[in-house]
Structure 1
Amino acid sequence: MAGRVNHGVLLGCTLLCAAALLCSGGTIRVAKGASSSPIGTAGVPVASDARLAGDAKQTRFVLDLDRTIQFRAFALADPYRVVVDIPEVSFRLPAGVGAAGRGLIKAFRYGLVMPGGSRIVFDLTGPARIANSYVLDAANGQPPRLVLEFEEVDRTTFVQSLAPESRPELKPAIADAAASVASVAAPVEAAAPAKPIAGADSRPVIVIDAGHGGLDNGTQASGESEKNLVLGFALALRDRIEKNGKYRVVMTRTDDTFIPLDDRVKIARNQSASLFVSIHADALPRGEGDAQGATIYTLSDKASDAEAERLAEAENRADAIGGVNLTEEPTDVADILIDLAQRETRTFSNRFARLLMSEMKNTVRMHKHPLKSAGFRVLKAPDIPSVLVELGYVSNKGDLEHLVSDSWRSRTVGSMAQAIDVFLAKRVARAGATN
């Protein structure tokens, strides 16, 4: 097979510990004479197609590209996943690619995971590793192709291949290797804004969190993705709030980028935010009837009902979808939830939720039970009043028509901005009276 370069990029301890494999094995070399494809957005590489082949013992993934890139691969457990980090790529893949799996790969997702960096996450049917990776040079009208060959392994072998953050004993051994690919796979957490300089801007800070993003599409229906709908709404809400000049608005994301759940909370805490508002759009699983209207959620140890529990579980899976290691959960969450500061914060969160419902019900169709609660990870800042707003159901025809309507968005943004202003004005006045 002409142009085949076997790099032996093992997704075992070898991959994680050997800098030579991570560096030389992670480079796609495109042969001279390779066909030239259109350049992607801002000159980034273009991926034009992706496909799977093979069976439950060995499965091959092929990605068509237009130029040389570097990559880094690592494994994550529970659920079984393999993550491939690459520089930012313009994915121009056919609709639906990755939704159906084959062999060892249940499905795969792709998208921007940080400024300048993209990610492909493979959901596995069981423990597996990348046994080989190589490139096929452009030939016979075919573009350069990145090829990853997965092979079935046992649980013990897979555990040995886990990402270094899951295995502390490997961290010293891979320090040099990690540094060599830092420009390709920099931690997402680094994107979190730093704390504002004291005295630079004393206005209360509102953090608006557009849910999902990047390779996490959220719910989808009729060609519309939740991540795009809620980003457009969040940006409009930011613009409306900033018009009066009374508050400073910080966004967790302003483009199609994946942000881990804990990093969204860290952004709010780093900014000493006065309010955190997470924007989403729900969907009922197929065959489970219909629902409509906006719902406002606050944090609670126990979900208010089965639907709230289902939604919280779905939203809390965002990190797994994005290829984030879930083995290092915060150890202080239980303590935070019973802390007096958290109790006070919950009181303010519930107060804002009721105020928000009062304003929204005049302009927006609300769910029959508009105020609910559940254990959303993104609402767990111990010192920041936080709510999660489901604007409607993309699975409901009427709600979806509203979600894509500019006039509906303008009315809804107006009612939310009014509620935020009333809530923060009272808190600022209360704070001033105690000083």
Structure 2
Amino acid sequence: MKFENKYSETVKRIKSNLIRELLKTAGDKDIISFGGGIPDPETFPIKKMSEIANEVIMNEYRVSLQYGSTEGDPELIKQYIRLMEEYEGIHGLTEENLMVTTGSQQALFIVGTVFLDEDSYCAVSKPIYLGAGSAFNQRNPKYISIPLEKDGMNIDYLENELKKLDENGEIDKFKFVYTVSNFHNPAGTTLSLEKRKRLIELAEKYDFIIIEDDPYGALRFEGEKQPSIFKLNNGERVVLLNTFSKVLSPGLRIGVIVANKELIRKMVLAKQGMDLCSSTLTQRIAARFIEKYDLFEEIKPTIELYRAKKDKFMEALEKYLGDIEGVDWIRPEGGLFSWITLPEGFDTMELFEIAKRKKVIYIPGETFYVDEPERNTMRVSFCLPSFEELDEGVKRLREAIDEYAKEKGIELKLK
């Protein structure tokens, strides 16, 4: 049977996750990978988690092994509200303001389902987090790509685009701005306080929603903590997405949506058609873990490890790439990523094959765009390689850059 004419237009638009394809070689023990954006598994609280998992299964099996509510485990929601009060200074949340999802990816898919149609507009960063692009693409919206600067998205550019929509009578079709507010994936940037406030002002002026994705905010290892956009706006027109994947374990597959009660009710309806409920077992394990232990004390050693690895990585970039004119990179204050820009004429997708032969890999930048990509960019992650591999990996990357330049006849200008 030929299936092609049976597929929906939505599934025809879906493309393979290029990162997954590129990282198939990462299993080679000789490969140094700057590609994956995954936490170091040695940072997981294995012993404490296993003890709590046993207690939850043995003593709370009537709940933890049963179906649960679409909104999420009440015990986890209660603990999450407490964390928001103690560590984010966000008060007044009730269980009606929250919904637990199966990871942040499901949260992004729900956002797309609830807000976007084919004639809808939404603004996203340029580059964009790949998971968000994948989720929103299934609704086939019209994108407005906002260039990123070192302190987050270019708000002046956004404002000009909104003015154009308003003048053309299409502003009502503009649904939301999506931003990774802290330690952006893939770019490593953080939205400044001034830009957070300006974004809220624009949202109020042009009547749109802000989707604030903050999976990395707890992983700050230097600089001043910024208040969330959600807190600055008292949650009036901000949907906050969070996750336990980077602070506890991605295997739990727990995300959280925090929003206006009316929006949560609509999101619950969307989720019911996807999975009825997220895992009751992993939710209850997470609830008991953060009830028993101080989550932010628990991750302090992880933050110190990532801080040291980031410093080593920045040192290696300066050592091996710092003499090339036109090379730049982001110096993140937290999270897992940096973003490298090479001189004009480089194509990091082509460079990838040479780098792979040199036994070092990264993610080519063109993966992270919903429109015309900047091909001389790459995302690099410093959290998984060892300290020795961070230095050796950047050394190999420089060798690949030199070889590519020679092959393409590109003159590398040195400082």
Q: TM-score with structure 1 length normalisation?
A: 0.26
Greater strand content: 1
Greater helix content: 2
Q: TM-score with structure 2 length normalisation?
A: 0.27
Instruction: Specify the structure having the higher radius of gyration (Cα).
Output: 1
